[in-house]
Every structure is written in C-alpha cells, then in structure tokens.
Amino acid sequence: MTDPTRLSARDALIEAAFAVFSRDPSASLIQVAERAGVGRATLHRHFSSRDDLILALGRIAIAEMDEAAEAACEGARSYADALKRTLEALIPLGDRHGFLAREPIENDPTIRAEFERQLHETRDMVEKAKQEGLFDKSAPTAWIIQAYDHLLYAAWESVRAGDATPMQAADLAWRTLTTGLGGKTSES
C-alpha cells in the first residue's frame, strides 16, 4: 500500500524548487532534484528546462496566492479586515511571494497579466481601506503596497527562522503596517 501523504514526483519537485530557490535563486536543477529525492532524469521528464520549471512555479505561486487570498476574504467585514486576513493567509506562502518578487518571469504574458491583476486588486483594496480610515489618506498607495509586501516577506522570514509562529508574525506585521513600531514620544 502506498503512503497517501507522499507527494508525487512532480509535486515533490515543485515544493523542493520553492524551498531551494527561496534560499538561493541561482541554485541548480541538480540541487532541486536532490532536495526532492529524485534523479535528474525524473526532473527532466516533468520539466524540460530551468525556464520551464521557473514558469511552472510562477503560475503555481500566483494560483496558490489567489486561492488563499480569496478564501481569506470571504466574510470580511471591511476592506481593512480583508487586507489583514489576506496578510495572515499569505504568510505561510512566503516562499511563493518571495519567488515571484525575485524571478524574472514577467516576460511570460500570462504571468505578467496575472501579476498586474493582483497588483490592481491590492491597489483597490488599499484605496478602499484608506477611505475607511485605516491609512492616512495622504500616504501614497504605492508606498503602502510596498510596505505590505515587505512586511509579508519579513513575517515569512521570521516564521521560517523559527522566531515567530505564523499568527505572531501576522500580528506584528499588521501592527507595524497600521501603527508602526515606535513608542509614544513627546516632542520638545
């Protein structure tokens, strides 16, 4: 009887590639195959080249992040709530987020279109959260989006390093985004 928790060779390669490339974007396909516990021939049966694997990872990352964000936003009471829930849902997918940020995959028209769609949706949520009063209306939306993305990555790194649980990292990232880290100070 086979172990139902064992990944298929293709799925093992995908997970290994995300893990390997999140630590070293210049890693070789041999390193990916070794991490997946398969040989190079098996890797090449599933992915004909590094570019083929990278494009597959890009499509998978976008789809998984979309699915997590959509599920997280169900039942959100406000745009602010949806942004917070999305942050919480995406932290476990930080390797996917980091991969998309580092890999030059925007030349693929499908991935570029999906990435632009995600950016547009995020921009829309941030704008509506600004209207709700979550953010200072004078703060540039692009700045807020960059802060959100970087805090997502920082939260994932904290979880990966064992410095925080996903919920602790999400709480700290959200607090940093919405209120900052400084204590109250009085100006002289």
Domain ranges of the chain: 7-48, 58-179
CATH 1.10.357.10 at 58-179, yes or no: yes
The Cα 152–Cα 170 span in angstroms is 8
The Cα 64–Cα 97 span in angstroms is 10
The Cα 17–Cα 178 span in angstroms is 34
The Cα 134–Cα 81 span in angstroms is 10
Tell me which DSSP letter residue 161 carries: T
Q: Is 75 left (phi over 0), alpha (psi -120 to 50) or beta?
A: left
**Helices 109-132 & 79-90 angle (0-180, nearest 10):** 130
pLDDT band, residue 175 (cuts 50/70/90): very high
pLDDT at 80: 95
pLDDT at 186: 52
The Cα 7–Cα 17 span in angstroms is 14
What average pLDDT does this structure show over 117-127? 92
Q: Strand, helix or coil at 134?
A: coil
Residue 126 clears pLDDT 70, i.e. is over it: yes
144-149, Cβ contacts within 8 angstroms, sequence gap of 24 or more: 144/177, 145/119, 147/177, 148/83, 148/87, 148/122, 148/177, 149/97, 149/101
pLDDT at 140: 95
pLDDT at 116: 87
Q: Strand, helix or coil at 26?
A: coil
Nearest to 97 by CA among 73, 71, 127, 118: 118
What average pLDDT does this structure show over 158-169? 93
Q: Token pair for residue 170?
A: 């999400």
pLDDT band, residue 79 (cuts 50/70/90): very high
148, 82 Cβ separation under 8 angstroms: no
Burial letters for 75-89: b for 16+ Cβ neighbours within 10 Å, e otherwise? eeeebbbbbbbbbbb
The Cα 83–Cα 68 span in angstroms is 12
pLDDT at 185: 57
What average pLDDT does this structure show over 55-69? 91
pLDDT band, residue 19 (cuts 50/70/90): confident
